[in-house]
Structure formats: structure tokens, C-alpha cells
Structure 1
Amino acid sequence: MHKQRSDDVYEQRLERIKWFRDARFGMFIHWGLYAIPARGEWVRSMERMSIEDYQTYFDEFDPLRYQPRVWAQLAKEAGMKYAVLTAKHHDGFCLFDSQYTEYKATNTPAKRDLVREFVEAFREEGLKVGLYYSLLDWHHPDYPAYGDRQHPMRDHPDYREVQHEFPRYVDYMHAQVEELLSGYGRIDIMWFDFSYPGFSGEAWRATELVNKVRALQPHILIDNRLGGDMHAEHPVAYAGDFAGPEQGVPRHPVTDELARRLPWESCITLNNSWGYHAQDWRYKTAQDVIRTLVNCVSKNGNLLVNVSPTAKGEIPQKAQSILREVGEWLLRNGESIYGCGEAVDQPKPEWGRYTQREHILYAHLMEQVIGHVSLEGLRGKIKKARVLADGSEVVITPFWNVAVDSFDGPDDIFMNFGYPAQETYPLPDPRDTVIALELKQV
């Protein structure tokens, strides 16, 4: 059988993912029955709730304040370019009107297809839409329970002898994915979660699944959680289009075995919980989000920030406030994020980070410097320098006192916000002041 060349597969992935690499910033939305107990999305597993225990949340689920257009407008105000919603999480509850289960939002007091409303609202705002789908299912009778690593009934003696027809569950899972990708219009991302020992790769019939997904929506992006190794020189079909680190940012750009840069997306929570947790007020600041976004882009990555709507369907006001502040920063500095990536010829500076698009190098100043700011290796390479937020000129100058001492190299140059250049000027934006350095083109 003819094996497709490694560089062909790599180029095809890059073509599919071009919009994603330009977008850089997205919204993750974890929402479901678990918003009612309000102790996170793993509550059923952590507290070993039976189906009967959990049923009370199904019986009362009625998000009367769910207005997906409000969510979409918030994402747009935050400067986000795409959003991913949990169509089905590990508890097996479906936010969409699936014909393959009764365990769905349309059978709760809500009586609404919440996924359809989501995709329509976000598309109207010009945002790309993605759907998260859990490969696990703690509600389905054919998903193995006793002895599993995380099933709520993993150590319940009544489940010790229960027989499961796992292939029947996989059929169900495939059917639901086909349903999502054939009944809701264009879907831009299929975000699968997650594989673990014994339940990975072809246990999901992953090659077959991915072939179905691409047949239905050839443009779609698929994450890397079906179990394949996308870092391999010859990745399997289900290896994915982008890597998905969680709750952290890699130290370096993500690469494959040939050292080629790979697309990736770090997903993080805005507080410390994915699903709504009423007692979790440990929110990250807007500065935290801005600097994490810059960190990701400086390594050719995206940032997907999670919000956790309440049982009533509202995104908490604290989360809204943080995201709007991020959006205010992006309104003035987004040029240094969208369509940008790694500054391959520049080491990480001591005062912050670089991002780059073509011949514009963006210096992200995140640390107050005493005196003027060192630009390592850029002597004679800068055509002009401007504060990105307001367009004001930045002074480019040699070291101020070479007659006494100098700690710059022969290829270094300095910048500052005014004269005398050796004085200390407070950063115009202490969260991240961005300087656009237009480089001379050879």
C-alpha cells in the first residue's frame, strides 16, 4: 500500500489549520447538568454518584437565562475568534437533540436543543464554532464501569458482574459524532476528550471515525486526544491537527520528530474549575490571561480559555469582567497576536517576549526596566519603533554612557519612551506594553 509522504501530510495539516493559527484566541465552554451541584464537571465521578443520584439534576435542568447570543457577544468583545462547547461531557448528558438517546436537553424541563442555539448564535457574530465530545460516557450501559479508572461505579460491588458490550457503545459514539457533523451546519473543530490506557486509538475505531468526520466536513480540525502521536514523522490518520496541552504552556514551540513546528492550543480554566463551581473564586486576572496568550503566540500556539456557565445559563459576572478587560487590551494590541507567531531569530528577552508577523517584530514589555531597554542583536536592523496601542514614537539609541561602562554587545541596540534615554519611564501598560519594531528588509 502506498504510504503518503510525511511532508504531504504536514502541508495538508498546515493548510487546514491556517485560520486557526491566525485566530490564536478562543473560548472553551463547559456546561451541563453538573452546573446544578456546582462542584465541577467531575462531580459524579468524584462523589461516586449513581445514575439515580444524578437523575435529580436531569429532572430540574432548565437554564432559563441561557442566551447564546450574549455568550457570543462576550466572546467577540474579549477578542476571541472561535468557541468550543461541550456537546456531551463524561456524564453522557447531551446538550443536543440526539436521536440515539433519551438522555438529552430536549427531554429536560429546558426542552431546547442547546447546541443548535449555540452554533447559530456564534456564527452570527462571525466566530468559528467547535464541538467538544467526550469519548467516555458514564451513563451509557455499555461503557465499562467496574474497575475503570474514573467511572462513578468503578468500585461498586453491584457492578462487579455487570457485562458490557463495548463495541455497541462505540457504535453509539460514532453515530452521535456523525449526527453532530451532519445536522448542525459547518463545524470548524471537533474536540474529542480523551484517551487513556485500554481506551485509546483503535479501541475507539479511531481511523474509521476520523475518516467519517473528514468525509462529512473535509475542512474540519480535529484535536489529538483520540490517542495517536502527532509528533511522529508518519502520524496515523487519527493523530490530530493540533496538540492540546492542558492547564499549562509548553516551554518551547511544539515540534515533530523532524523538528518541524506543529500547531498547538493550550486550554486553561479562568478560575480553577472547568464546570461551574460556586465556591471557586480563584480567578486569573486579565493580566494573567494576556501574558499567557502572548506566551502561547510567541511559541506558535493558541490559547483556549474556559468559562463555566451557571445552571441558569449565565456566564459569571467576574468572568465577564476579566474577559472584557482582555478584549480592551486586544482592541489596541491585537495586531501583535492575530496572525503572529514565533520570532525565530530572536532569543527570549529578559523583559518579556517577542511575537512576529513578517517584517514586524512585536516587543511585549512585561517587566519594568531601569533605564533603557536592551534589544539584543538588533543594531542596524530597525527601521522604526512605535507603541502599538497609540502609535507614539519609541526612541532607538546606543548605550548612553559608553565612556564609563557598557554592558551591550556589538550587535545590540536600546530603546526607551523618551529623552534622556537613560532615564526610567513607567511602562504605559504594566500588563503588557507592546512596541512594534519595523525591521529593515534586506
Structure 2
Amino acid sequence: MLKKLKLIFLLALISGSPVFAQKQSGTETDAQKQKRMEWWTDSRFGMFIHFGLYSGAARHEWVKHNEHLSNEQYQKYFDQFNPDYFDPTKWAKEAKAAGMKYMVMTTKHHEGFCLFDSKYTDYKSTNTGAKRDLVREYVNAVRAQGLKVGFYYSLLDWHHPDYTMDDAHPLVQVDTSQANYDRLNKGRDMAKYRQYMRNQLTELLTNYGKIDVLWLDWSWDKKGQRRGRGKGAKDWGSVELLKLVRKLQPGIIVNNRLDLNEYKDGADFETPEQVSTAELAKYHGKTWETCQTFSGSWGYYRDENTWKTHRQLLDLLITSVSNGGNLILNVGPTARGEFDYRATRALDSLATWMHANNRAIYNCTFAPDTYKVPENDKLTYNAKTKRLYVHLYDYPAGGTITLPGYAGKIKYAAFLNDASELLYKPSATNPDDLILTLPAKKPLYEIPVVELTLN
């Protein structure tokens, strides 16, 4: 019997299937979770904000790590921090115009600087030239625009005196020897840092009203943890931390970076980061949100020029929804507290497309298998309204597209942007197919959308 159990366990490991039921830290049912998550899965589109002292350096949010800077060397960015153009109302209006339904802002990134008035540290915005609780202003602005409010909080902290060394810490990038780790860790107490996190998350989740999303970032994989140079659930006290979060904000939605994969309720959604659109198909049918930047950096990076085109951004959004997921796009404001002109330009282009085509995004997901995807295009689907959306990636020069196997399945076709009718007829070569006729002139949208009303 023991040999048989070992064989079952080995086969399960090979296949990736769970051997036993996952643990559960709470009592929420699947139906309750689905209801709690409903607004989020219907929204499909959000904005990330990465803002901190690194905005002054303007050369990547990991500048402290990349340049191996000590707290003393990094202090100049704290001393200079004074975002005189900080106006989260303007941010929220731009996000709303672009069709985003929720926002998530860094309250503390890996550098350890807090944008809120925490009583557990002096390393905060109220002690800079800003003299303001920037998180409070953000919350009020986002809520006033009718958007959902999200917080990002870094589990890493490169400033706190009790945070122990790991392979991401700035002070071990030059000397990775165990002797250097031991020297730097002398006097540090991770238990004190865990309490610090609990205290700050308690502040964030009690002092600012209802918070809809919490992004906690991040844990090493098991290999990194086994090396002794990375952190995971035990280091963060993740089980108790998540229980605290859910106690303080019962309706909150939490991401998957606490290293609680063995718990069924250890996370609400997966977070593929900066992946290609081709990779998103792997998450089809799961609950997920891909986090992406407009350019190659999360924080403001003045001289970084790999900005995504309008078409690339639309492809990310459409592909996310067509695989049943969300997209959260990141802006890194400048040190003066405003969006870079390139970010504003990208948001404006999204606003134009979303104004005309948002019905193909909100409340949508992947299409049922009975609807084949027309060649070179992508589909999204709204089960409540029985609408199928064809995203025309390659507008046909011949003026027609084939809807494979759609005969008898639709009763009306129109462009979504203006609701103008499109005519269709059975294919002469295959009666199961429909031939949809399109005007010679493409609508003034990078990727036009056809709305099909289903029978």
C-alpha cells in the first residue's frame, strides 16, 4: 500500500496535478469568491502607478539595487523629494478616460520609502519637502472619479534596519560571500520587520476607508528560498498576514505573491508580469491579471525609449480579455508628480479606442469553443448580452472576412464604433460559413471591432 501511495505521489508530481486537496486558511466558498471578484473580472482594465524616490533618479525603480547604493548614498533623493505637480485627481481622470476601472498605487516600494503618514517610520512623504500624505490624496481622488482603489505594498524593504539580506538587496550585489551576508545581518531581526509590515498594513487597511485591491510584492521561488538567498511565506509570515488583511478588509482582492500556492485561498489572482501576448494563452481559463509597462521600466526612466506602440497596447488588452484575464498598465510619474508626455499620449490613444469599443472589453471573456476564431483576428464574448466581438487585426483588402461555422448562429452584425450594419451571407463554397462584407475604407481605429448579436 505504501509503495502504491508513493507511486501515485510521483505520478502526480510529474503531471503537475495536486495529490491532496489544498489547504484553506478561511471559510469562503467558491460561489462567495466569485461574487466578491465580480466587479474585478467585469472591469478587465486598470492602471498601475509606481511612484517613489526613484522618480528623482529617473533611471529605473531598482536604481538603489542596480547601483549598489547604501541608505546614506540614497538619502539625496529623500532630501530632494517634493512633487509640486502631484495631482492624483488628474491621474484618475486620465485613467477613467482611457477606460480603466481601477487603480493601484505604490504605498511603499522596495526602497522602503512610504507615501503615507505611517507612525512606524520617519522615512515617509510627510517628512519630505512634500509634507503631504500622498496616499490619502490618491485615495480621495480615485474614489471621487468612481474608480476602485488599490494599494501596492512591497514585502521587500532595502531601508529598514531589521530587514535581512537576500540576493536582491543592494548591499550584497558586489560581495555575495556568506561572510558579507553574516556581517550585514548582524543585529538585524526579521521578526521585528514582520511586525513592522503588519503594523503598516493595518494602517493602510484601516485609515483610508474601503480598499478594493491589495498588491503584495514579492516572494522568491522555492529554488531561491532553498539556496538561503531568497524569501518566502515563512519570512513574511504570509498565512497570518493574509488573515489580517482579510479581517481588516473582508471584500478585498489580493494577488498571488505571498508564496501561498499550497493554500486554495492563498491568492485571488495570478500575475504574469511583462510577458508577451503569446504567453498569455497559458492562463486561459484561470483568474489572472497581466501587469505591463508602457515602456521598459515601472518607475520614471527619463532616457528609456522602448515605449510600446498604440497597436501593441491594444493587442495586450484584447489578448488579455480574449483569454479571460485583466490588464493593468503602469505609469511612472516624474519626480514633479506628473505623467510623462509619452504616457499621456498613450493614454489618450487608448481613450479614443475605448470610447468606441469598450463593450468588447468590459464584462467580456474568451468565446465558447463553438465559435472559431476568424483568420488573423481575435474574439471576446459577453455571455450576459449574448454578443460576440471580432477584433479585426488585419483589415481585409478584399472587403470580406469568413466567419467559419457561424451559419445559423448570428442574427445581426455591425461595427461596434458606430453601430452601423454589416451585411453577411452564406459562403458559396461552404454553407456552414458566413461571408461578412466590410466597407473598403477601414474605420479610423487601429483595430476595428465587429459586434455580432447571437441567436
Q: Report the alpha carbon displacement of residue 411 of structure 1 after superposing the two structures with TM.
A: 2.1
SS at match of 1:245: coil
Aligned mates of 2:349, 2:190 — CA distance in 1:
47
Q: Report the alpha carbon displacement of residue 60 of structure 1 after superposing the two structures with TM.
A: 1.0
Once the two structures are superposed, residues 42-93 of structure 1 have per-residue CA deviations (whole angstroms, 9 ceiling, x without a partner) of 0000000011100011011000110111111111111111100000000100
Q: Is the 8 A contact 1:351 1:368 kept in 2?
A: no
In the TM superposition, 1:309-324 aligns within 5 A as 309-324=333-348
Q: Does 1:272 align with 2:304?
A: no
- Which residue number corresponds to residue 65 of structure 1? 85
TM-score by length of 2: 0.87
The percentage of aligned residue pairs carrying the same residue is 44
Q: 1:357 to 1:23 in 2, by over 3 A?
A: same
| Paired AA for residue 354 in structure 1 | L
More helix by share: 2
| Paired AA for residue 193 in structure 1 | D
Aligned mates of 2:137, 2:37 — CA distance in 1:
25
Q: Report the alpha carbon displacement of residue 252 of structure 1 after superposing the two structures with TM.
A: 2.2
Counterpart selection for 1:118 from 138, 156, 166: 138
Q: Report the alpha carbon displacement of residue 347 of structure 1 after superposing the two structures with TM.
A: 3.4
Q: Report the alpha carbon displacement of residue 4 of structure 1 after superposing the two structures with TM.
A: 6.4
- Which residue number corresponds to residue 3 of structure 2? none
SS at match of 1:438: strand
Counterpart selection for 1:254 from 283, 286, 289: 283
Q: Is the 8 A contact 1:367 1:430 kept in 2?
A: no
- Which residue number corresponds to residue 373 of structure 2? 348
| Paired AA for residue 435 in structure 2 | F
Q: Is the 8 A contact 2:153 2:216 kept in 1?
A: yes
Q: Report the alpha carbon displacement of residue 160 of structure 1 after superposing the two structures with TM.
A: 4.2
In the TM superposition, 1:201-240 aligns within 5 A as 201-229=233-261, 235-238=263-266, 240=267
Q: Does 1:80 align with 2:100?
A: yes
Q: Does 1:339 align with 2:363?
A: yes
Q: 1:253 to 1:126 in 2, by over 3 A?
A: farther
TM-score by length of 1: 0.90
Aligned mates of 1:47, 1:38 — CA distance in 2:
13
Q: Report the alpha carbon displacement of residue 362 of structure 1 after superposing the two structures with TM.
A: 0.6
- Which residue number corresponds to residue 161 of structure 1? 183
Q: Is the 8 A contact 1:188 1:219 kept in 2?
A: yes
Q: 1:347 to 1:306 in 2, by over 3 A?
A: same
SS at match of 1:31: coil
Aligned mates of 1:113, 1:141 — CA distance in 2:
23
More displaced stretch, 271-280 vs 348-357: 348-357
Q: Report the alpha carbon displacement of residue 275 of structure 1 after superposing the two structures with TM.
A: 0.4
| Paired AA for residue 379 in structure 1 | A
Unaligned runs of 5+ in 2: 1-21, 226-230
- Which residue number corresponds to residue 149 of structure 1? 167
Q: Report the alpha carbon displacement of residue 6 of structure 1 after superposing the two structures with TM.
A: 12
- Which residue number corresponds to residue 243 of structure 1? 270
Counterpart selection for 1:367 from 381, 385, 394: 394
Q: 1:12 to 1:200 in 2, by over 3 A?
A: farther
Q: Does 1:383 align with 2:425?
A: no
SS at match of 1:56: helix
Q: 1:144 to 1:3 in 2, by over 3 A?
A: closer
Q: 1:251 to 1:312 in 2, by over 3 A?
A: closer
SS at match of 1:411: coil
Q: Is the 8 A contact 2:24 2:264 kept in 1?
A: no
Calculate the aligned-residue CA RMSD, in Å. Answer: 2.1
Once the two structures are superposed, residues 238-273 of structure 1 have per-residue CA deviations (whole angstroms, 9 ceiling, x without a partner) of 2x1111110124442636xxxxx3321111000111
Q: Report the alpha carbon displacement of residue 377 of structure 1 after superposing the two structures with TM.
A: 1.4
Aligned mates of 1:283, 1:129 — CA distance in 2:
26
| Paired AA for residue 425 in structure 2 | T
SS at match of 2:30: helix
| Paired AA for residue 248 in structure 2 | L
Aligned mates of 1:71, 1:166 — CA distance in 2:
36
Q: Report the alpha carbon displacement of residue 18 of structure 1 after superposing the two structures with TM.
A: 0.4
- Which residue number corresponds to residue 258 of structure 1? none
More displaced stretch, 89-98 vs 280-289: 280-289
Q: 1:416 to 1:127 in 2, by over 3 A?
A: same
| Paired AA for residue 282 in structure 1 | T
- How many residue pairs get aligned? The number is 415
